[in-house]
Amino acid sequence: MKLFGKSKDGKNPDGQPVTANGAEETKMTETTDSSRSHPELKLISGQQISQSSPATNQQPVKPAPKKPLVPDVKYVIAVASGKGGVGKSTVSANLAVALSQMGLKVGLMDADVYGPSIPTMMGVKQQPQVTEQRQLLPINQHGLSLMSIGFMVQDEQAMIWRGPMLHSAMQQFLGDVIWGELDYLLIDMPPGTGDAQLSLSQIISLNGAVIVTTPQDVALADVRRSIAMADRMETPLLGVVENMSYYINPSNNEKVNIFGSGGGEKICQQLNVPLLGQIPIDPKICECGDLGTPIVLAFPDSSQSISFKRMADRLIVQVEQLEQEEELTIQ
Protein backbone atom coordinates (compact mmCIF):
# COMPACT_ATOMS: atom_id res chain seq x y z
CA MET A 1 0.00 0.00 0.00
CA LYS A 2 1.19 3.50 -0.75
CA LEU A 3 -0.93 5.68 1.44
CA PHE A 4 1.06 5.98 4.60
CA GLY A 5 4.52 7.52 4.50
CA LYS A 6 6.70 8.82 1.69
CA SER A 7 7.69 6.83 -1.39
CA LYS A 8 11.17 5.79 -2.46
CA ASP A 9 11.61 8.95 -4.53
CA GLY A 10 11.17 11.10 -1.40
CA LYS A 11 7.71 12.34 -2.26
CA ASN A 12 4.54 12.05 -0.30
CA PRO A 13 1.39 10.36 -1.63
CA ASP A 14 0.27 13.68 -3.11
CA GLY A 15 3.43 13.89 -5.22
CA GLN A 16 4.98 16.69 -3.12
CA PRO A 17 8.58 16.44 -1.91
CA VAL A 18 9.02 15.95 1.81
CA THR A 19 11.16 18.78 3.23
CA ALA A 20 12.79 19.52 6.53
CA ASN A 21 10.25 22.28 7.06
CA GLY A 22 7.46 19.74 6.85
CA ALA A 23 8.96 17.67 9.63
CA GLU A 24 9.45 20.79 11.71
CA GLU A 25 5.86 21.94 11.28
CA THR A 26 4.21 18.80 12.64
CA LYS A 27 5.94 17.51 15.69
CA MET A 28 2.50 17.30 17.27
CA THR A 29 1.24 14.87 14.61
CA GLU A 30 3.95 12.25 14.95
CA THR A 31 3.75 9.36 17.34
CA THR A 32 6.58 8.32 19.60
CA ASP A 33 5.62 4.67 19.76
CA SER A 34 4.64 2.74 16.66
CA SER A 35 5.09 -0.69 18.21
CA ARG A 36 1.41 -1.46 17.77
CA SER A 37 0.97 0.26 14.43
CA HIS A 38 0.19 -1.91 11.45
CA PRO A 39 3.24 -2.56 9.20
CA GLU A 40 1.36 -0.97 6.29
CA LEU A 41 0.69 2.18 8.32
CA LYS A 42 3.57 4.67 8.36
CA LEU A 43 2.67 7.95 9.97
CA ILE A 44 2.48 10.89 7.66
CA SER A 45 4.73 13.93 7.88
CA GLY A 46 3.62 17.49 8.36
CA GLN A 47 4.22 18.36 4.72
CA GLN A 48 1.68 15.73 3.78
CA ILE A 49 -1.09 16.95 6.04
CA SER A 50 -0.42 20.63 5.39
CA GLN A 51 -1.74 20.36 1.84
CA SER A 52 -5.26 21.69 2.32
CA SER A 53 -8.05 20.90 -0.08
CA PRO A 54 -9.10 23.87 -2.20
CA ALA A 55 -12.15 25.69 -0.96
CA THR A 56 -15.36 24.44 -2.47
CA ASN A 57 -18.40 26.46 -3.37
CA GLN A 58 -21.93 25.24 -3.13
CA GLN A 59 -22.09 23.79 -6.64
CA PRO A 60 -23.11 20.14 -7.00
CA VAL A 61 -20.24 17.75 -6.44
CA LYS A 62 -19.38 15.71 -9.51
CA PRO A 63 -20.17 12.12 -8.52
CA ALA A 64 -17.78 9.25 -9.09
CA PRO A 65 -18.13 7.26 -12.30
CA LYS A 66 -20.26 4.15 -12.17
CA LYS A 67 -17.17 1.95 -12.58
CA PRO A 68 -16.57 1.04 -8.92
CA LEU A 69 -13.47 0.34 -6.87
CA VAL A 70 -15.39 -2.57 -5.37
CA PRO A 71 -16.79 -4.40 -8.41
CA ASP A 72 -17.97 -7.40 -6.40
CA VAL A 73 -20.08 -5.32 -4.01
CA LYS A 74 -23.69 -4.96 -5.07
CA TYR A 75 -24.73 -1.99 -2.91
CA VAL A 76 -22.58 0.62 -1.16
CA ILE A 77 -24.44 2.58 1.52
CA ALA A 78 -23.10 5.51 3.57
CA VAL A 79 -24.35 5.89 7.15
CA ALA A 80 -23.94 9.55 8.11
CA SER A 81 -24.98 12.15 10.66
CA GLY A 82 -24.97 15.91 10.77
CA LYS A 83 -23.36 15.96 14.22
CA GLY A 84 -21.56 13.65 16.60
CA GLY A 85 -23.10 11.91 19.58
CA VAL A 86 -26.26 10.65 17.88
CA GLY A 87 -25.23 6.98 17.82
CA LYS A 88 -24.28 6.74 14.15
CA SER A 89 -21.68 4.00 14.67
CA THR A 90 -24.05 2.05 16.90
CA VAL A 91 -26.67 2.18 14.16
CA SER A 92 -24.08 1.18 11.54
CA ALA A 93 -22.92 -1.84 13.53
CA ASN A 94 -26.37 -3.14 14.43
CA LEU A 95 -27.82 -2.46 10.99
CA ALA A 96 -24.94 -4.41 9.42
CA VAL A 97 -25.54 -7.36 11.74
CA ALA A 98 -29.31 -7.24 11.09
CA LEU A 99 -28.70 -7.40 7.34
CA SER A 100 -26.28 -10.28 7.82
CA GLN A 101 -28.87 -12.21 9.83
CA MET A 102 -31.15 -12.03 6.79
CA GLY A 103 -28.68 -14.20 4.91
CA LEU A 104 -26.89 -11.35 3.13
CA LYS A 105 -23.13 -10.95 2.76
CA VAL A 106 -22.30 -7.68 4.50
CA GLY A 107 -19.19 -5.57 4.99
CA LEU A 108 -18.70 -2.64 7.35
CA MET A 109 -16.07 -0.02 6.61
CA ASP A 110 -15.21 2.41 9.40
CA ALA A 111 -14.47 5.69 7.59
CA ASP A 112 -14.53 7.72 10.80
CA VAL A 113 -10.74 8.03 10.89
CA TYR A 114 -10.80 10.70 13.60
CA GLY A 115 -12.80 8.60 16.06
CA PRO A 116 -13.07 4.97 14.92
CA SER A 117 -15.57 3.09 17.09
CA ILE A 118 -16.13 -0.09 15.12
CA PRO A 119 -13.13 -2.01 16.58
CA THR A 120 -14.56 -1.63 20.10
CA MET A 121 -18.17 -2.22 19.12
CA MET A 122 -17.23 -5.36 17.21
CA GLY A 123 -14.74 -6.66 19.77
CA VAL A 124 -11.78 -6.65 17.37
CA LYS A 125 -8.24 -6.21 18.68
CA GLN A 126 -6.11 -7.90 16.03
CA GLN A 127 -4.64 -6.26 12.94
CA PRO A 128 -5.66 -7.20 9.40
CA GLN A 129 -3.41 -9.46 7.35
CA VAL A 130 -1.53 -8.22 4.29
CA THR A 131 -1.28 -10.28 1.10
CA GLU A 132 1.82 -10.66 -1.05
CA GLN A 133 0.26 -8.07 -3.36
CA ARG A 134 0.18 -5.68 -0.38
CA GLN A 135 -3.59 -5.69 -0.10
CA LEU A 136 -5.47 -5.87 3.17
CA LEU A 137 -7.81 -8.67 4.15
CA PRO A 138 -10.91 -7.60 6.09
CA ILE A 139 -11.33 -9.01 9.57
CA ASN A 140 -14.27 -11.37 9.90
CA GLN A 141 -16.30 -10.89 13.07
CA HIS A 142 -19.95 -11.48 13.93
CA GLY A 143 -20.62 -12.60 10.36
CA LEU A 144 -19.31 -9.34 8.86
CA SER A 145 -16.25 -8.29 6.86
CA LEU A 146 -14.72 -5.36 8.75
CA MET A 147 -12.09 -2.71 8.07
CA SER A 148 -11.13 0.28 10.21
CA ILE A 149 -8.16 2.57 10.70
CA GLY A 150 -8.63 1.69 14.36
CA PHE A 151 -7.33 -1.83 13.63
CA MET A 152 -3.95 -0.37 12.73
CA VAL A 153 -3.15 2.36 15.24
CA GLN A 154 -2.90 2.68 18.98
CA ASP A 155 -5.97 3.85 20.86
CA GLU A 156 -4.28 7.03 22.01
CA GLN A 157 -2.89 7.96 18.58
CA ALA A 158 -4.48 11.06 17.06
CA MET A 159 -5.13 11.03 13.32
CA ILE A 160 -4.53 14.66 12.37
CA TRP A 161 -5.31 14.49 8.68
CA ARG A 162 -6.49 17.05 6.18
CA GLY A 163 -8.24 16.57 2.87
CA PRO A 164 -5.61 14.88 0.66
CA MET A 165 -4.59 12.23 3.19
CA LEU A 166 -8.19 11.53 4.13
CA HIS A 167 -9.05 11.17 0.46
CA SER A 168 -6.16 8.72 -0.04
CA ALA A 169 -7.14 6.71 3.02
CA MET A 170 -10.72 6.29 1.87
CA GLN A 171 -9.60 5.39 -1.63
CA GLN A 172 -7.32 2.67 -0.32
CA PHE A 173 -9.86 1.31 2.15
CA LEU A 174 -12.08 0.71 -0.86
CA GLY A 175 -9.62 -0.22 -3.59
CA ASP A 176 -6.80 -1.93 -1.67
CA VAL A 177 -8.96 -4.05 0.62
CA ILE A 178 -10.11 -7.43 -0.67
CA TRP A 179 -13.79 -7.11 0.17
CA GLY A 180 -14.83 -9.99 -2.05
CA GLU A 181 -18.44 -10.59 -3.02
CA LEU A 182 -20.82 -8.62 -0.82
CA ASP A 183 -24.49 -7.77 -1.02
CA TYR A 184 -24.04 -4.64 1.10
CA LEU A 185 -21.05 -2.57 2.14
CA LEU A 186 -22.00 -0.07 4.84
CA ILE A 187 -19.65 2.86 5.33
CA ASP A 188 -19.69 4.44 8.79
CA MET A 189 -18.90 8.07 7.96
CA PRO A 190 -17.39 10.74 10.21
CA PRO A 191 -20.02 13.13 11.59
CA GLY A 192 -20.67 16.41 9.82
CA THR A 193 -20.46 17.53 6.20
CA GLY A 194 -16.81 17.90 5.30
CA ASP A 195 -13.84 16.44 3.47
CA ALA A 196 -14.73 12.80 4.09
CA GLN A 197 -18.17 13.13 2.53
CA LEU A 198 -16.81 15.02 -0.47
CA SER A 199 -13.99 12.54 -0.96
CA LEU A 200 -16.27 9.52 -0.82
CA SER A 201 -18.61 10.95 -3.45
CA GLN A 202 -15.65 11.52 -5.76
CA ILE A 203 -14.15 8.07 -5.19
CA ILE A 204 -17.13 5.77 -5.53
CA SER A 205 -20.69 5.90 -6.74
CA LEU A 206 -22.89 5.37 -3.68
CA ASN A 207 -26.18 3.54 -3.96
CA GLY A 208 -27.58 5.67 -1.16
CA ALA A 209 -27.16 7.27 2.23
CA VAL A 210 -28.82 6.81 5.62
CA ILE A 211 -28.93 9.79 8.00
CA VAL A 212 -28.92 9.17 11.77
CA THR A 213 -30.36 11.73 14.17
CA THR A 214 -32.01 12.12 17.57
CA PRO A 215 -35.35 13.83 18.36
CA GLN A 216 -33.91 17.14 19.64
CA ASP A 217 -34.34 20.26 17.53
CA VAL A 218 -30.59 20.95 17.55
CA ALA A 219 -29.93 17.54 16.00
CA LEU A 220 -32.71 17.91 13.45
CA ALA A 221 -31.21 21.16 12.19
CA ASP A 222 -28.09 19.19 11.33
CA VAL A 223 -30.19 16.61 9.49
CA ARG A 224 -31.15 19.30 7.01
CA ARG A 225 -27.47 19.99 6.37
CA SER A 226 -26.75 16.30 5.87
CA ILE A 227 -29.64 15.97 3.45
CA ALA A 228 -28.41 19.03 1.57
CA MET A 229 -24.95 17.45 1.43
CA ALA A 230 -26.36 14.22 0.01
CA ASP A 231 -28.18 16.26 -2.61
CA ARG A 232 -24.98 18.05 -3.60
CA MET A 233 -23.22 14.69 -3.85
CA GLU A 234 -26.08 13.41 -6.03
CA THR A 235 -26.45 10.52 -3.59
CA PRO A 236 -29.94 9.06 -3.16
CA LEU A 237 -31.25 9.48 0.37
CA LEU A 238 -32.61 6.14 1.54
CA GLY A 239 -34.06 7.49 4.76
CA VAL A 240 -33.59 8.84 8.26
CA VAL A 241 -33.07 6.86 11.47
CA GLU A 242 -34.20 8.48 14.73
CA ASN A 243 -31.94 7.03 17.41
CA MET A 244 -32.58 7.40 21.17
CA SER A 245 -36.16 7.99 20.16
CA TYR A 246 -37.79 7.07 23.47
CA TYR A 247 -37.26 5.08 26.66
CA ILE A 248 -39.48 2.20 27.72
CA ASN A 249 -40.17 2.31 31.45
CA PRO A 250 -39.61 -1.29 32.63
CA SER A 251 -42.09 -0.89 35.50
CA ASN A 252 -45.12 -0.21 33.29
CA ASN A 253 -43.84 -0.55 29.67
CA GLU A 254 -44.82 3.04 28.92
CA LYS A 255 -42.83 5.19 26.50
CA VAL A 256 -40.93 8.12 27.97
CA ASN A 257 -39.80 10.78 25.48
CA ILE A 258 -36.55 11.86 27.10
CA PHE A 259 -35.36 13.98 24.17
CA GLY A 260 -38.72 15.11 22.87
CA SER A 261 -40.93 13.29 20.40
CA GLY A 262 -41.83 13.21 16.75
CA GLY A 263 -38.86 15.25 15.55
CA GLY A 264 -37.54 12.67 13.12
CA GLU A 265 -40.98 11.89 11.77
CA LYS A 266 -41.76 15.58 11.36
CA ILE A 267 -38.64 16.40 9.37
CA CYS A 268 -39.15 13.33 7.18
CA GLN A 269 -42.65 14.56 6.34
CA GLN A 270 -41.40 18.07 5.64
CA LEU A 271 -38.65 16.90 3.31
CA ASN A 272 -40.51 13.91 1.87
CA VAL A 273 -37.88 11.48 3.18
CA PRO A 274 -38.60 7.94 4.46
CA LEU A 275 -38.32 7.32 8.20
CA LEU A 276 -36.50 4.00 8.37
CA GLY A 277 -36.83 3.49 12.09
CA GLN A 278 -37.06 4.84 15.63
CA ILE A 279 -34.62 3.16 18.00
CA PRO A 280 -35.49 3.15 21.73
CA ILE A 281 -32.80 4.26 24.15
CA ASP A 282 -31.54 1.62 26.57
CA PRO A 283 -28.33 1.25 28.61
CA LYS A 284 -27.92 -2.24 27.19
CA ILE A 285 -27.06 -0.79 23.78
CA CYS A 286 -24.02 1.00 25.22
CA GLU A 287 -23.06 -1.96 27.37
CA CYS A 288 -23.16 -4.32 24.40
CA GLY A 289 -21.10 -1.92 22.30
CA ASP A 290 -18.46 -1.62 25.01
CA LEU A 291 -18.30 -5.41 25.30
CA GLY A 292 -17.88 -5.87 21.55
CA THR A 293 -21.19 -7.59 20.77
CA PRO A 294 -23.95 -5.53 19.11
CA ILE A 295 -27.31 -5.70 20.87
CA VAL A 296 -28.89 -7.38 17.83
CA LEU A 297 -26.69 -10.39 18.67
CA ALA A 298 -26.62 -10.11 22.46
CA PHE A 299 -30.35 -9.51 22.98
CA PRO A 300 -32.08 -10.52 19.73
CA ASP A 301 -35.59 -10.28 21.20
CA SER A 302 -35.19 -6.82 22.73
CA SER A 303 -37.24 -3.90 21.43
CA GLN A 304 -34.03 -2.30 20.16
CA SER A 305 -33.04 -5.39 18.17
CA ILE A 306 -36.53 -5.68 16.70
CA SER A 307 -36.31 -2.02 15.64
CA PHE A 308 -32.95 -2.61 13.93
CA LYS A 309 -34.29 -5.65 12.08
CA ARG A 310 -37.31 -3.70 10.86
CA MET A 311 -34.96 -0.96 9.76
CA ALA A 312 -32.95 -3.48 7.75
CA ASP A 313 -36.15 -4.64 6.03
CA ARG A 314 -37.11 -1.07 5.13
CA LEU A 315 -33.60 -0.29 3.90
CA ILE A 316 -33.69 -3.22 1.49
CA VAL A 317 -37.08 -2.10 0.19
CA GLN A 318 -35.76 1.43 -0.40
CA VAL A 319 -32.63 0.21 -2.19
CA GLU A 320 -34.57 -2.12 -4.46
CA GLN A 321 -37.14 0.57 -5.20
CA LEU A 322 -34.44 3.06 -6.19
CA GLU A 323 -32.81 0.44 -8.38
CA GLN A 324 -36.09 -0.19 -10.18
CA GLU A 325 -36.60 3.54 -10.70
CA GLU A 326 -33.11 3.87 -12.19
CA GLU A 327 -33.79 0.98 -14.57
CA LEU A 328 -37.01 2.61 -15.73
CA THR A 329 -35.18 5.90 -16.26
CA ILE A 330 -32.54 4.20 -18.39
CA GLN A 331 -35.20 2.49 -20.50
pLDDT of residue 34: 39
pLDDT score of 287 more than 90? yes
The percent of residues in the chain predicted with pLDDT above 70, rounded, is 74
pLDDT score of 259 more than 70? yes
The percent of residues in the chain predicted with pLDDT above 90, rounded, is 35
pLDDT band at 277 (very low <50, low <70, confident <90, very high): very high
Mean pLDDT across 201-227: 82
φ and ψ at residue 199, rounded to 5 degrees: -60, -45
Mean pLDDT across 146-175: 73
pLDDT of residue 266: 82
pLDDT score of 191 more than 60? yes
For residue 185, which of 125, 242, 100, 261 has the smallest C-alpha distance?
100
SS (H, E, C) the chain: CCCCCCCCCCECCCCCECCHHHHHHCHHHCCCCCCCCCCCCCCCCHHHHCCCCCCCCCCCCCCCCCCCCCCCEEEEEEEECCCCCCCHHHHHHHHHHHHHCCCCCEEEEECCCCCCCHHHHCCCCCCCCECCCCCECCEEECCEEEEEHHHCCCCCCCCCCCHHHHHHHHHHHHHCECCCCEEEEEEECCCCCCHHHHHHHHHCCCCEEEEEECCCHHHHHHHHHHHHHHHHCCCCEEEEEECCCCEECCCCCCEECCCCCCHHHHHHHHHCCCEEEECCECHHHHHHHHHCCCHHHHCCCCHHHHHHHHHHHHHHHHHHHHHHHHHHHHC
pLDDT band at 54 (very low <50, low <70, confident <90, very high): very low
pLDDT score of 29 more than 60? no
Mean pLDDT across 276-302: 94
Residues 77, 206 contacting (CB under 8 angstroms): yes
The CA dihedral of 319, 324, 328, 331, to the nearest 10 degrees, is: 100
CA–CA distance, 119 with 113 (Å, rounded to integer): 12
> Among 53-67, 154-168, 281-295, which is the least confidently predicted range?
53-67
Domains of the chain with CATH codes: 73-330 (3.40.50.300)
pLDDT of residue 161: 55
pLDDT score of 299 more than 80? yes
pLDDT of residue 163: 56
Mean pLDDT across 183-203: 80
Residues 283, 240 contacting (CB under 8 angstroms): no
CA–CA distance, 74 with 19 (Å, rounded to integer): 43
- Over residues 88-132, the pLDDT tens digits come to 999 999 999 999 999 999 999 998 877 788 999 999 988 889 899
Between 169 and 90, the more confident residue is 90
pLDDT of residue 157: 57
pLDDT of residue 294: 96
φ and ψ at residue 256, rounded to 5 degrees: -120, 120
pTM of the model: 0.77
pLDDT of residue 284: 92
307-310 long-range contacts, Cβ below 8 Å, gap at least 24?
307/277, 307/278, 307/279, 307/280, 308/91, 308/94, 308/95, 308/97, 308/98, 308/277, 308/279, 309/98, 309/101, 310/277
Ramachandran sector of residue 234 (left: φ over 0; alpha: ψ -120 to 50; beta: rest):
left
pLDDT score of 272 more than 60? yes
pLDDT band at 38 (very low <50, low <70, confident <90, very high): low
pLDDT of residue 35: 41
pLDDT score of 2 more than 50? no
pLDDT band at 238 (very low <50, low <70, confident <90, very high): very high
For residue 77, which of 203, 202, 186, 205 has the smallest C-alpha distance?
186
Q: Are strands 144-148 and 275-278 parallel, antiparallel or unpaired?
A: unpaired
